[in-house]
């Protein structure tokens, strides 16, 4: 509500339910590495959308409403759907505001800088503005700049 006070009912449901029952699928139940992580994340999106759909149907919502919330939770058409992008912006801002510290304790600075940069690149300009107004650790901007510089250098070296 702080980011999008005018959020639709679909966006509110998706925001509140995007991690519903996440504990039923722990990360450690998937293989280590990026491929395992991505499979875990994608499987969770499908699970969360299905579970929200079940709850919405039980509460009397129709198929169109369920489909819309499912598309938001799966973050379909992220850059073209303002509500899906808002959901991603909020998820990234919540990570930065509330979960960054836990990652900081278990990650080396270079990896942490890359995690921040990857989150930042998924956000819109409005998401960036919102995140920069949060109370952040004083060293976070420096880490973010380092990560963005590395990601940018990596992209250029591959000719992108």
- Give the pTM: 0.84
> 13-29: per-residue pLDDT in tens?
999 999 999 999 999 99
What is the phi-psi region of residue 37: left when phi exceeds 0, alpha when psi lies from -120 to 50, beta otherwise? alpha
- Both tokens of 56, joined, read 């919405």
Instruction: Indicate the pLDDT class of residue 159, thresholds 50, 70 and 90.
Output: very low
């Amino acid at each position: 509500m702080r980011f999008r006070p005018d959020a639709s009912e679909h966006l509110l449901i998706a925001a509140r339910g995007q991690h519903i029952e996440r504990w039923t699928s722990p990360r450690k139940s998937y293989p280590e590495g990026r491929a395992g992580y991505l499979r875990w994340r994608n499987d969770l999106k499908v699970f969360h959308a299905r579970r929200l759909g079940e709850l919405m149907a039980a509460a009397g919502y129709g198929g169109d409403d369920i489909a819309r919330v499912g598309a938001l939770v799966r973050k379909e058409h992220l850059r073209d759907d303002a509500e899906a992008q808002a959901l991603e912006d909020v998820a990234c801002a919540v990570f930065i505001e509330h979960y960054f510290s836990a990652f900081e304790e278990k990650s080396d600075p270079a990896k942490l800088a890359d995690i921040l940069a990857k989150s930042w690149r998924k956000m819109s300009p409005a998401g960036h503005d919102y995140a920069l107004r949060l109370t952040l650790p004083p060293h976070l901007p420096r880490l973010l700049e380092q990560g963005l510089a590395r990601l940018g250098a990596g992209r250029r070296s591959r000719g992108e």
